[in-house]
Amino acid sequence: MKGDIILVEKHHRRAAGAIVPAIIDKVKTKPARYIISVAGESGSGKSETAQAIADELAKLGFRSVILGQDDYFVLPPRSNDARRRNDPEWLGPHVEVNLDLMDGNLRDAVGGAQELIKPLVDYDNDCVGEERIGLEGVAVVIAEGTYTSLLRHADTRVFIARSRRDTLEHRLKRNRGGEARDPFVEQVLTREHMIIAGHRHLADFVITKDYDVRETN
């Protein structure tokens, strides 16, 4: 998402340093591009962890690109927030987010496409544009976002098990759109928690609230 600021910290790198060595043989031997999803609640560190994984892969000579679920929302941020406030049913992966389009981009990447055309959300201007992502030389695509555990084309699924209470400090630092401490946003996060609670069981790796990594398979 245009305008997003990502700060990768030691705990993100520590988690990535545990995950990448565990999957690198699969990355090397897969004849097509390898897909990793990184899911979790708002403020859990999905974007930062995805970037840390990309950095670890780069150290081993594997180039990657990151697709953020925020770019695949049907409505841009402020418009989406307004719709949520006026429509109680406007929440969740099959309403707010075009996961089929994200999955389609991943399918094309696996199929050998040398370029993706994807949405690009401009947070400051509250609009959705378009961008082209070159894939020449790219071995891994990392899809990060709340609901990315549901993506069909992921080879490895990572889930960050941090609740809205665990993520409060991070959300206060970010305070994107003044959302921190907003009672309505807290209601939304509570509902999101209920929606993705079961997604943890889809994961190959679970990152705990203390950013320890547990392999599940």
Average pLDDT of the segment spanning 54-64: 98
Is 215 inside a domain boundary? no
User: What residue numbers bound the domain in which 189 lies?
Assistant: 10-207
Average pLDDT of the segment spanning 38-64: 96
Indicate whether this model's pTM tops 0.75.
Answer: yes
Chain Cα centroid distance, residue 38: 5
Whether residue 195 is predicted with pLDDT greater than 70 in this model: the reply is yes
Is 3 inside a domain boundary? no
Is 1 inside a domain boundary? no
Q: 205-207 and 213-215: which strand pairing? A: antiparallel
Q: Out of 42-51, 58-67, 97-106, 161-170, pick the least confident.
A: 161-170
Percentage of the chain lying above the pLDDT 70 cut: 91
Average pLDDT of the segment spanning 99-117: 97
Is 216 inside a domain boundary? no
More confident residue, 4 or 151: 151
pLDDT bracket for residue 186 (50, 70, 90): confident
Is 71 inside a domain boundary? yes
| Burial (Cβ within 10 Å: 0-12, 13-18, ≥19) of residue 91 | middle
Identify the pLDDT of residue 75: 96
- CA-nearest of 18, 56, 76, 43 to 139 is 56
Is 5 inside a domain boundary? no
Is 150 inside a domain boundary? yes
Give the CATH number of the domain where residue 165 resides. 3.40.50.300
Is 4 inside a domain boundary? no
Identify the pLDDT of residue 6: 86
Joined together, the tokens standing for residue 213 give 């990594």
Chain Cα centroid distance, residue 195: 16
Count CB atoms within 10 A of the CB of residue 133: 17
Domain count, the chain: 1
Joined together, the tokens standing for residue 115 give 């370029």
Average pLDDT of the segment spanning 73-99: 95
